């Protein structure tokens, strides 16, 4: 595609304008520049090059292959299953559903192989909620369309209770409290999330479970389910989750792939019968090893 930079577009970065003109993401535009597919006035251009009025911009964006969710024989820890739903204990390191950068090996791929079919979105079939890749623990998957609708409504209306265990750096001043702060994309790093004025409302309740010398184990209860919510809120409070590579820092002593965070309790009413269901999954060995290290037990 050829484009002559207008006076209004002068000063824009090359990757920003290419993304705007093509409809691609800024990261895709930047990658095209790095691959030598973006030219300004006939010369290869860096993503950061600032454009001037009259510059001739020429670029091509490689089209990403369409994503699909296909069944894959991957081991699953099924905590509960009936005709309407499954409750799964997801391991740390497993992505919940396919996305660019993780097109296979996800929990959805594994569940499709287990059940055959799932209702809902083609890439997120059956999913009522999600967990970050490196957060372990319980999540519910709907097997029928009606169950997905009812569980989705229950989640929206805060009738599905989720409780997490996490180890944080430092010890909070108060034994229990609530952190409120709207969460959205970090304007300085689009790969991160942050508390921003135009973000979506987010509320996290915490309570001290055990105090160590330089760390603490907390329980977390969510009123909302924003991406990276606990991690963002605790980092903003000055107590990032132990070993969090994005909002804190890695601890070389810890064998977990990422943050020491585990979704250990889940409760809701059955979408078909209305019967109360409660589940609990103990933290995985990597979390327990991390806890032993910071507590001085090992």
> Which among 60, 58, 79 is positioned nearest to 3, based on CA atoms?
58
Pair 204, 229: CB distance under 8 Å: yes
Please, which residues have CB within 8 angstroms of residue 205's CB and are 6 or more apart in sequence? 176, 177, 178, 220, 221, 222, 223
Name the nearest CA neighbour of 141 among 101, 114, 102.
Answer: 114
Our answer to whether residue 132 is catalytic in this structure is yes
Which residue spans within the chain are E strands per DSSP?
2-4, 38-40, 43-44, 56-59, 78-81, 85-90, 136-142, 161-169, 176-180, 183-186, 189-195, 203-211, 215-222, 261-269, 276-280
Active site residue: 132, 134, 186, 244, which one? 132
Active site residues: 132
């Amino acid at each position: 595609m050829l484009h002559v930079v207008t006076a209004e577009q002068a000063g824009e970065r090359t990757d920003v304008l290419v993304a705007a003109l093509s409809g691609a993401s800024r990261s895709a535009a930047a990658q095209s520049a790095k691959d030598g597919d973006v030219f300004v006035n006939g010369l290869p251009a860096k993503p950061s090059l600032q454009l001037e009025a009259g510059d001739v911009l020429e670029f091509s964006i490689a089209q990403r292959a369409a994503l699909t969710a296909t069944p894959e024989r991957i081991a699953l820890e099924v905590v509960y299953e009936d005709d309407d739903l499954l409750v799964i204990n997801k391991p740390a390191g497993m992505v919940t559903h396919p996305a660019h950068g993780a097109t296979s090996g996800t929990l959805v791929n594994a569940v499709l192989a287990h059940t055959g079919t799932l209702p809902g979105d083609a890439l997120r079939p059956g999913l009522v909620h999600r967990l970050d890749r490196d957060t372990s623990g319980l999540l519910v998957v709907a097997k029928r369309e009606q169950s997905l609708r009812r569980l989705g409504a229950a989640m929206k209306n805060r009738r599905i209770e989720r409780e997490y265990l996490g180890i944080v750096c430092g010890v909070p001043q108060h034994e229990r409290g609530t952190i409120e702060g709207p969460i959205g994309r970090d304007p300085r790093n689009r790969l991160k999330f942050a508390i921003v004025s135009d973000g979506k409302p987010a509320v996290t309740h915490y309570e001290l479970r055990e105090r160590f010398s330089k760390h603490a184990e907390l329980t977390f209860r969510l009123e909302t389910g924003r991406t990276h919510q606990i991690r963002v809120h605790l980092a903003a409070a000055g107590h990032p989750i132990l070993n969090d590579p994005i909002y804190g820092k890695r601890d070389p002593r810890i064998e977990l792939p990422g943050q020491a965070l585990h979704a250990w309790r889940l409760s809701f009413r059955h979408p078909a019968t209305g019967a109360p269901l409660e589940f609990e999954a103990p933290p995985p060995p990597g979390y327990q090893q991390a806890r032993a290290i910071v507590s001085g037990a090992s």
